[in-house]
Amino acid sequence: MSLLALERVTRRYRSGAHERVVLDGVSLSLEAGELLAVWGLRRSGRSTLLRVAAGIEPPDAGVVRFEGEDLARRGDALGSGIGFCRPGGGVGDGEARGTLDELIAGQLARGVPQTAAESRAFAALERVGASECAGRRLNELDGGESVRVAIARALALGPLLLVIDEPTKGVDLLERDSILALLRSLADDGIALLVSVGQATALSGADRALSLSDGELRGSLRPELAAVLPLRRRASA
């Protein structure tokens, strides 16, 4: 049983008489400890795919399963097993909010005690290499720091699956490579990652890379079909 499975998922948007099919019978599966990247041009539907996979948007047809259970019936997977972040869209509701407060608030909303929330927040920031951001405000962070804090906010809830929309958007070249290495290390720790990218250069470290266009996914949709994993970094001898 796969950790995450999309089974013939369709998602469409309507505006008056016009209908746009963004996902057309899409299927894929993702295992624990796997880093799967979805590449697509702007308006290809990659962000929609991630929101549907995380349970933020319901599919119009098909099923999304997490740990074998239909997300539509589970209802609480986001924040309880699934972590979602879109760094380019801001980390929290108020950009002047303190970074540590932002990480703690998300946990308190899930019923985590204050002391435990603080401990998890510090640990998550340290894990992503952003411990120095704890005492700063969100609007004081640069692009790379904002990405790391967004990931830390999701990590603080202990997810089995991290869904990240364009983790390298708006960061410089050196920071991009560092963030890609962070994602790879999280997958090596056993967390499944589903990420979207807008550039092929952001595929480094992925176990599989799929492309999305015209509502269809192309590539090795299931791990067992990917006999060769050329994108994954090999450990040095």
The pLDDT of residue 93 is above 60: no
Query: Rounded CA gap, 139 and 121, in Å?
Result: 18
Domains of the chain: 1-81+159-231 (3.40.50.300), 90-157 (no CATH)
Amino acid 77: pLDDT:
65
Number of neighbours of residue 194 by Cβ within 10 angstroms: 26
Reference 35, options 169, 205, 173; nearest CA is 205
Amino acid 229: pLDDT:
43
Q: What is the mean pLDDT of residues 183-198?
A: 94
The pLDDT of residue 185 is above 70: yes
pTM of the model: 0.87
Query: Which tens digit of pLDDT belongs to each residue from 109-126?
Result: 888 999 999 999 999 999
Q: How buried is 154 (Cβ within 10 angstroms: 0-12 exposed, 13-18 middle, 19+ buried)?
A: buried
Query: Rounded CA gap, 42 and 179, in Å?
Result: 22
Largest CA distance in the chain: 60
